[in-house]
């Protein structure tokens, strides 16, 4: 019986020794993983991506804005990228389409509530049959206006206007060209 106790004691001693080293190894691995995690930069890419997006904004059950985009990428900070372009259509109180903004690229900045469109950009007032062409424009939701500091071309039924920089109301019916160029007809 004495021999059995000694064998059992040595067996238990080996097992405890093994458990101790395995625990030490696992503890060291866990610490290494924590170091690796803290050294890794935070993920900055899109958290959600949608294809063929149509977003509708309404007030008091009346359609106000419709946004269409082939691709929408949402980020942690609330910003949204439309890398394949976007079209924003605005409607008046009667549900009639008044203004359309199209661009090859778009971005929504949540903190300032604005949509920026770039590339081949076109803003159209459907009711007045006038169009604005530029390479970049921002639609500020807070001020409800379009703003650009880029070269512009405005085509109306009666004239073509050129300039650099422009501010207009949301339906693109009243606008101010910062630096007009070209020939103008004054009434």
Q: Kindly report, residue by residue over 129-171, the tens digit of the pLDDT.
A: 999 999 999 999 889 999 999 999 999 998 889 999 999 998 8
Give the residue among 166, 158, 167, 162 at the shortest CA–CA distance from 180: 162
pTM over 0.75, yes/no? no
Q: Return the pLDDT at 48.
A: 87
The answer on pLDDT for 41 being more than 80 is no
Q: DSSP state, 42?
A: P
Give the residue among 132, 122, 51, 54 at the shortest CA–CA distance from 84: 51
Q: DSSP state, 135?
A: E
pLDDT band at residue 52 under the 50/70/90 scheme? very high
Alpha helices in the chain (DSSP H): 2-39
Give the residue among 40, 89, 49, 93 at the shortest CA–CA distance from 68: 89
The answer on pLDDT for 33 being more than 60 is no
Q: Return the pLDDT at 115.
A: 92
The answer on pLDDT for 23 being more than 70 is no
CB contact set of 15 (below 8 Å; sequence gap of 6+)? none
pLDDT, tens only, 57-111 = 888 888 899 999 999 999 988 899 999 999 999 998 888 999 999 999 999 999 9
């Amino acid at each position: 019986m004495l021999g059995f106790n000694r064998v059992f004691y040595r067996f238990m001693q080996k097992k405890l020794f093994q458990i101790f080293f395995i625990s030490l190894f696992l503890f060291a691995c866990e610490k290494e993983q924590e170091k690796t995690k803290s050294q890794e930069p935070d993920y900055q890419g899109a958290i959600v991506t949608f294809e063929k997006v149509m977003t509708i904004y309404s007030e008091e059950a009346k359609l106000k804005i419709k946004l269409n985009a082939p691709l929408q990428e949402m980020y942690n900070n609330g910003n949204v990228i439309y890398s394949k372009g976007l079209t924003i259509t605005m409607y008046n109180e009667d549900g009639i389409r008044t203004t359309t903004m199209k661009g090859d690229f778009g971005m929504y900045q949540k903190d300032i509530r604005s949509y920026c469109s770039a590339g081949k950009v076109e803003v159209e007032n459907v009711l007045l049959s006038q169009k604005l062409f530029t390479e970049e424009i921002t639609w500020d939701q807070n001020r409800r206006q379009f703003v650009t500091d880029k070269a512009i071309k405005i085509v109306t039924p009666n004239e073509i206007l050129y300039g650099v920089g422009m501010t207009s109301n949301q339906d693109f019916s009243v606008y101010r060209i910062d630096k007009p160029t070209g020939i103008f007809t004054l009434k």
